[in-house]
Amino acid sequence: MSQYKYYLEDFAVGDEFEFGEKHVTRDEIIAFASEYDPQPFHLDDEAAEKSLFRGLSSSGWHNCAMLMEMIGKGYLGDTASRGFVGFDEVRWMKPIRPGYVLHVKRTCLDVASPSVPGEAGVVRFHFDVFNQEGLQVMMAVGEQRIESRAAA
């Protein structure tokens, strides 16, 4: 029996999969920003109100980390993943605020079989991140190495 539920062969161009329920907290936004992106609009309510964001919002890099958390919980553990090759595109479209509940729609853009038998193939995904009201707050495009069943 296979160790994983999903292998390279289980992904096809156009396939969509929705996952995630990330609850964003004020404390988490401030903690991340304090460590990695100490700009006033990520750290202080009053400063954030005076900024172009008009309120406390998470760092874009925090948004990426939250996306990765949802990917990890949403499907990564069930997938014969060998890691991400990288992300070619990331867009922070709207501020992510305390109290938001995030979810993701993953769309498969491309599946490339391994050039060497036994190696992992590469799947290109488009990730759309939405808040609880269905407002798109972020998008990213990344490539993930995924092992084939034959290589397993």
User: What pLDDT does residue 1 have?
Assistant: 44
Supply the pLDDT for residue 117.
76
Q: How far apart are CA 122 and CA 82, in angstroms?
A: 10
Provide the CATH number for the domain formed by 8-24+60-146 in this structure.
Answer: 3.10.129.10
Name the residue with tokens 């014969």: 80
What is the reported pLDDT for 150?
Answer: 78
Residue with tokens 């160790």: 3
Residue 149, pLDDT score: 87
pLDDT tens by residue, the chain, 152 residues: 468 999 999 999 999 999 999 999 999 999 999 999 999 999 999 998 998 889 999 999 999 999 999 999 999 999 999 999 999 999 999 999 999 999 999 999 999 998 887 789 999 999 999 999 999 999 999 999 999 987 66
* Residues whose CB falls within 8 Å of the CB of residue 80, separated by 6 or more in sequence, listed in order: 3, 4, 6, 7, 8, 120, 146, 147, 148, 152
| Nearest alpha carbon to residue 16 among 127, 137, 133, 138 | 127
- Domain residue limits, the chain: 8-24+60-146
CA distance 146 to 134: 30
CB 30 within 8 A of CB 43: yes
Chain centroid to Cα 84, Å, comes to 11
DSSP string for 88-102: EEEEE-S---TT-EE
pLDDT the model gives residue 152 = 62
Q: Is the dihedral of CA 91, 105, 63, 111 positive or negative?
A: negative
User: The pTM is what?
Assistant: 0.94
